[in-house]
């Protein structure tokens, strides 16, 4: 065992990121800390030395706070193991956020052992930590017998159908978990049955986030059946999956029966008009749903109007927010929307009006081309690379956190956030749709290179056409747009629309 005196004699030779003065951490201070160490800070420093990892000063500064957030500090599995030692005896921290630290499954095993001893932590965030099935199994085993954890975040860990089975089995037995975040994983159709069973049996979970997964119509139908039988869930996020018409129809049936679900997000699920008509019938009788998000679906203006008419026809509707982002609407829709917003305190979010589309058609060619160039999300990526002196391969490697030579949806989205590339959700989804040409769910380097080349060609063509138009304007001669027409016929036009 390392004594305080030994630590004082050797700490000058020990590499840490603490960088503290002797007067702050002198012998007297360490003696006092050792005697009254209810936070485990001194124990953490010693454990780091024994494991050969660098202590993180952030922990020593914030270990007496109830909400401990240490995101993207590069802990690794050994760093997590060292952190778990003081956390066993820490009585301050109740919310633990270790997002993006690559703790892996070995780190999760250490965390589970710590949580069996710690009686205070109730919320834990392990998003983006490269956790494999071994770590998921360990966490699920712990949660099966635990009666304290109320929130768990396992987003962005590449979890698949086998992991869904483990999680569902845990949910059927756990009675304390209230919020579960599983977004940006790889759950597919085989996961549908597992989540259906979990929702059918569990009546204590209140929030489930399955957004940005690979849940297609088959899984959509099964999950909807689970929602139909569930009596506890209040918030369900299914954004950016692929429920399509079949999944939407099944969810519509669930909405006619479910009496607890208050918020439902089915944005970007490839739901066509027929599916929207079914959902409209569901909300026409639903009396508990407060927020419904259906933006980025190909429902047309007719579908948007159908939804609004269903709400208007339901006198007992509790709907406060209807999100139809990027969905075109009609003048009739606008009239009905204004009436409902005044009468029922309803907020409706939608895309452009038909009148806006008509005005857009009156734009000059030059204005239209410039707008296309500026609104292209790939242009923002290129601008970021240029301003930071990055090559395409450098940009790719910075996004590819797990070094798999491919980018998952979560790596791309969270990378944009990390680099502060300002993009709306619609732009991010558009970028992914443009680059992922084989629809594999991942973006490999070849796809990024191909997208870059096509963008260069189209950018060059647009700029050249704009220059021609400007020159023709000076001469007051009708512009010749044959060059643009030749490129619009080019398959790469997908990068603009």
> Residues 290-297: what's their mean pLDDT?
96
Q: Which two tokens stand for residue 428?
A: 């991010």
CB neighbours (10 Å) of residue 60? 20
Which residue has better confidence, 165 or 391?
165
Quickly tell me which residue has 């597919």 as its tokens. Answer: 188
Which residue has better confidence, 114 or 481?
114
CB neighbours (10 Å) of residue 163? 26
What angle in degrees, to the nearest 10, is found between the helix axes of 217-229 and 189-201?
A: 0
Which residue has better confidence, 267 or 436?
267
pLDDT, averaged across the chain: 82
Long-range contacts of 111-115 (CB under 8 A, 24+ apart): 111/80, 111/84, 111/139, 112/138, 112/139, 112/141, 112/142, 113/84, 114/84, 114/85, 114/87, 114/88, 115/142, 115/146, 115/149
Least confident stretch, 204-213, 245-254, 372-381, 443-452: 372-381
Which residue has better confidence, 470 or 139?
139
Which residue has better confidence, 192 or 21?
192
Within 181-262, where are the H helices?
189-201, 217-229, 244-255
Which residue has better confidence, 350 or 394?
350
Q: What's the pLDDT at 316?
A: 93
Note whether 168 and 139 are within 8 A (CB).
Answer: no
Query: Would the pLDDT of 248 be above 90?
Result: yes
The β-bridge partners of 442 are: 408
CA distance 210 to 266: 10
> Residues 154-175: what's their mean pLDDT?
95
CA-based angle 238:242:246, to the nearest 5?
A: 100
Burial class (CB in 10 A: 0-12, 13-18, 19+), 150: middle
Structure confidence by residue, pLDDT tens digits, 120-153: 999 999 999 999 999 999 999 999 988 799 999 9
> Residues 456-471: what's their mean pLDDT?
73
Element (H, E) at 406: strand 406-408
Query: Would the pLDDT of 253 be above 90?
Result: yes
Q: What's the pLDDT at 476?
A: 58
Under DSSP, the state recorded for 353 is B
Query: Would the pLDDT of 167 be above 60?
Result: yes
Which residue has better confidence, 309 or 352?
309
Q: What's the pLDDT at 120?
A: 94
> Residues 34-53: what's their mean pLDDT?
73
Three-class secondary structure of residue 462 per DSSP: helix
Phi, psi of 208 (to 5 degrees): -135, 125
CB neighbours (10 Å) of residue 66? 9
With bands split at pLDDT 50, 70 and 90, how would you rate the model's confidence at 37? low
CA distance 151 to 153: 7
With bands split at pLDDT 50, 70 and 90, how would you rate the model's confidence at 468? confident
Note whether 280 and 289 are within 8 A (CB).
Answer: no
Torsion sign (Cα): 93, 168, 237, 411? positive
Q: What's the pLDDT at 4?
A: 33
> Residues 197-214: what's their mean pLDDT?
96
> Residues 111-123: what's their mean pLDDT?
94
The β-bridge partners of 356 are: none
CA distance 198 to 493: 44
CA distance 54 to 325: 47
> Residues 272-299: what's their mean pLDDT?
95
Element (H, E) at 445: helix 445-475
Query: Would the pLDDT of 377 be above 80?
Result: no
Which residue has better confidence, 324 or 360?
324
Query: Would the pLDDT of 465 be above 90?
Result: no
CA distance 61 to 8: 20
Q: CB-based contacts of 203: which residues, under 8 Å, 6+ apart?
A: 230, 231, 232
Q: What's the pLDDT at 355?
A: 52
0.75 exceeded by pTM = no
Q: What's the pLDDT at 299?
A: 92
Least confident stretch, 39-48, 199-208, 353-362: 353-362
Residue in 28, 6, 30 with CA at minimum distance from that of residue 18: 30
Taking CA atoms, 463 is separated from 427, 451, 458, in Å, by: 22, 18, 8
> Residues 25-34: what's their mean pLDDT?
51
Q: What's the pLDDT at 491?
A: 40
With bands split at pLDDT 50, 70 and 90, how would you rate the model's confidence at 14? very low
Sheet holding 207-209, edge to edge: 67-69, 95-97, 123-125, 151-153, 179-181, 207-209, 235-237, 263-265, 291-293, 321-324, 347-350
- Strand 235-237 with 95-97, pairing: unpaired
With bands split at pLDDT 50, 70 and 90, how would you rate the model's confidence at 199? very high
Note whether 294 and 304 are within 8 A (CB).
Answer: no
The β-bridge partners of 69 are: 97
Question: Terminal CA-to-CA distance of the chain, rounded, Å?
Answer: 65
Residue in 254, 247, 256 with CA at minimum distance from that of residue 276: 247
For the ranges 122-126, 366-370, 403-407, 446-450, the maximum mean pLDDT occurs at 122-126
Phi, psi of 305 (to 5 degrees): -65, -35
Q: Which two tokens stand for residue 370?
A: 């410039």
CA distance 204 to 200: 11
With bands split at pLDDT 50, 70 and 90, how would you rate the model's confidence at 368? low
Note whether 323 and 331 are within 8 A (CB).
Answer: no
Q: What's the pLDDT at 394?
A: 80
**Domains of the chain by start residue, with CATH:** 65-76+92-356 (3.80.10.10), 363-495 (1.10.238.10)
With bands split at pLDDT 50, 70 and 90, how would you rate the model's confidence at 376? low
> Residues 405-427: what's their mean pLDDT?
77
Q: Which two tokens stand for residue 292?
A: 């419904």
């Amino acid at each position: 065992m390392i004594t305080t005196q030994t630590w004082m004699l050797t700490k000058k030779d020990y590499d840490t990121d603490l960088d503290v003065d002797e007067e702050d951490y002198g012998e007297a201070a360490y003696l006092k800390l050792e005697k009254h160490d209810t936070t485990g800070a001194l124990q953490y420093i010693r454990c780091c030395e024994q494991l050969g990892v660098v202590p993180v000063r952030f922990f020593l500064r914030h270990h007496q706070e109830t909400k401990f957030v240490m995101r993207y500090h590069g802990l690794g599995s050994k760093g997590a193991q060292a952190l778990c030692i003081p956390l066993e005896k820490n009585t301050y921290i109740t919310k633990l956020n270790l997002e993006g630290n690559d703790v892996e499954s070995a780190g999760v095993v250490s965390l589970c052992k710590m949580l069996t001893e710690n009686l205070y932590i109730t919320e834990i965030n392990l998003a983006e930590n490269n956790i494999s099935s071994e770590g998921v199994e360990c966490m699920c085993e712990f949660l099966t017998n635990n009666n304290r954890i109320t929130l768990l975040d396992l987003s962005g860990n590449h979890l698949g159908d086998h992991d869904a089975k483990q999680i569902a089995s845990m949910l059927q037995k756990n009675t304390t978990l209230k919020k579960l975040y599983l977004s940006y994983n790889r759950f597919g159709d085989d996961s549908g049955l597992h989540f259906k069973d979990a929702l059918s049996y569990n009546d204590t979970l209140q929030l489930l986030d399955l957004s940005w997964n690979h849940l297609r119509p088959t899984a959509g139908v099964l999950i909807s059946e689970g929602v139909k039988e569930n009596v506890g869930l209040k918030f369900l996020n299914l954004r950016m999956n692929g429920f399509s018409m079949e999944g939407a129809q099944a969810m519509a049936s669930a909405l006619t029966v479910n009496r607890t679900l208050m918020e439902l997000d089915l944005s970007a699920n490839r739901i066509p008009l027929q599916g929207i008509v079914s959902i409209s019938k569901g909300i026409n009788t639903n009396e508990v749903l407060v927020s419904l998000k259906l933006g980025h679906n190909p429902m047309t203006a007719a579908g948007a109007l159908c939804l609004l008419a269903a709400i208007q026809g339901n006198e007992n509707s509790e709907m406060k927010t209807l999100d139809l982002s990027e969905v075109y609407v009609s003048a009739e829709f606008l009239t009905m929307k204004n009436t409902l917003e005044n009468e029922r305190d309803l907020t409706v979010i939608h895309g452009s009006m038909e009148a806006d589309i008509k005005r857009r058609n009156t734009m000059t060619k030059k204005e239209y081309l410039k707008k296309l160039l500026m609104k292209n999300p790939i242009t923002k990526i290129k601008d970021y690379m240029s301003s930071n002196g990055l090559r395409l391969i450098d940009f790719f490697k910075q996004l590819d956190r797990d070094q798999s030579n491919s980018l998952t949806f979560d790596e791309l989205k969270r990378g944009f956030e990390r680099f502060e590339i300002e993009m709306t959700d619609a732009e991010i989804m558009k970028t992914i749709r443009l680059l992922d040409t084989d629809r594999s769910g991942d973006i490999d380097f070849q796809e990024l290179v191909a997208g870059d080349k096509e963008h260069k060609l189209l950018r060059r063509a647009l700029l050249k056409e704009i220059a021609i138009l400007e020159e023709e304007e000076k001469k007051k001669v009708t512009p010749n747009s044959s060059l643009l027409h030749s490129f619009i016929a080019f398959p790469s036009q997908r990068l603009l629309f």
